[in-house]
Structure formats: C-alpha cells, structure tokens
Amino acid sequence: NAGVTQTPKFQVLKTGQSMTLQCAQDMNHNSMYWYRQDPGMGLRLIYYSASEGTTDKGEVPNGYNVSRLNKREFSLRLESAAPSQTSVYFCASKRDSGTGWAQYFGPGTRLTVL
Amino acid sequence: AQSVTQLDSQVPVFEEAPVELRCNYSSSVSVYLFWYVQYPNQGLQLLLKYLSGSTLVESINGFEAEFNKSQTSFHLRKPSVHISDTAEYFCAVSQETSGSRLTFGEGTQLTVNP
C-alpha cells in the first residue's frame, strides 16, 4: 500500500516548456487534489476532482490543466511554464464516505522554472 | 469566503517546554477546523480535527487544540515538546461537511532545540 505517489520528485524547466506532473493513489479514494506550496503562503488549491470524470477549479487555476484519467490517477499539466510557477506541488486524495475526513498527501514535486 | 491566519511564522522552543501555535479564522458560516503537520521533505499529515461536539480535541502524540467560537480561534498546544516535534504546522478550515475544500494558513515552523 504506497498511498499517494507523485512523479517526478524534482524538475527544472525553461520558460515556455510544458510538462505533466503525475499523481496516483491506491486507497480507492474518490476525491483528489492538486496544491502548490510557496514560502509564507501555505498551500493553495489549484484544482480538485470529486470523482472520476469531474474536475473543478480551486484558488489558483490559471496556467494549469488537469486530467482525472481514472479513479487512481490525477495529472497536472503546465502548458507553457513561467517562473511564477516555481513551487512545490502536492497531490492529495480523500475518502468521501464514513469518517474519511483526512486528506492524504504525496511527497511533493519540487519544480523550478528558469 | 473563509480565511486562516497563523499568527507566528516561527516558534523556537527548548525540549520539554510547553508550546502554543496560534490560529485564527474568518468565516461567515460554520466551519470545520484542522491541524496538519509537515515533517521535512514530506507531505502533510492530519494531526487533529474539530467537527462538532467537545471543543477540545486531542491527537495521539500529545497535541491538543481548542475551538473557541467567540474568539474565532483554534490554537494548538502541547505541554512538553520533543525534538521529534520539529516540523511545520498548518491550520486549515473548511465550510463543507465533507471537508473537501480546505483553506490553509501560512504555516508555523516549530523548532525544538535540545
């Protein structure tokens, strides 16, 4: 049981390049999330998916797209990276029934855009 | 809209001393409150939560938090800290009964010194 996994762990991009961050969970959770973490700003929600086939914008969606490929996987795509997107990106998942209140986080992807 | 303010960005303490990490929130409706902890180079983990009932909630590792509706606060306390408690702590709120959409505070870095 690996929990939430993210790839890659580190990435350096040049301005204008594109890339996809991958996230997978093996806990059969319905909800999945993408956050970015910046110093002094906590975590901010980029997009989330309440179930397979649905996605919704969070607080800071501009410059990003997401795909909920199936129940396990939720990817985040940067079409044209900008230095302002330098951040640590976390994926999380959550069970939505019973007492499933906790969001479970992956280890993060540290992205630098030059 | 909801917001969270963590009043201290860094809290240094000595081992076995008591500690309080302060969190205030703003919301026009009822909220559900959470504390998450992030150890170095890891994702966030749920520490404790307030949903309803007793305003004092406890974690398995000795932390406790008290929901104070009149002061709109949810401060985190521990009577005696250990070196292993060194981490960043995030307060978060949700207006949804499912706890799906969280708004995080900026984080407080707790450093426990020998």
pLDDT digits (tens, 9 = 90+) for A14-54: 999 999 999 999 999 989 999 999 988 889 999 999 888 89
Out of A43, A94, A101, name the one closest to residue B90 (CB). A43
User: How far apart are the CA of B52 and the nearest CA of chain A, in angstroms?
Assistant: 13
The mean of the pLDDT values for chain B is 91
Closest B-chain CA to A89: B43
Mean pLDDT check: name the lowest of A36-50, B3-17, B61-75, B88-102: B88-102
The mean of the pLDDT values for chain A is 92
Those residues with Cβ within 8 angstroms of residue B27's Cβ, 6 or more apart along the chain or in another chain = B1, B2, B3, B72, B93, B95
- Tell me if A44 and B104 make a contact (CB, 8 A cut-off): yes
pLDDT of A98 strictly over 60: no
For B1-114, list the strands marked E by DSSP.
Answer: 3-6, 10-14, 19-21, 23-26, 32-38, 44-50, 56-58, 64-68, 73-78, 87-94, 103-104, 108-113
Question: What φ, ψ does residue A47 adopt, rounded to 5°?
Answer: -145, 160
* Average pLDDT rounded to a whole number, residues A57-85: 95
List of chain A residues whose C-beta atoms are within 8 Å of the C-beta of residue B106: 40-42
Out of A31, A104, A108, name the one closest to residue B100 (CB). A31
Element (H, E) at A48: strand A42-49
- Write the pLDDT tens digit of every residue in B37-63: 999 888 899 899 888 788 888 888 899
Torsion of CA A110, A111, B2, B4, to 10 degrees: 50
Place of tokens 């520490």: B47
Rounded CA separation B19/A108 (Å):
28
Out of B41, B43, B101, name the one closest to residue A105 (CB). B43
Burial bucket for residue A109 (CB in 10 Å: 0-12, 13-18, 19+): buried
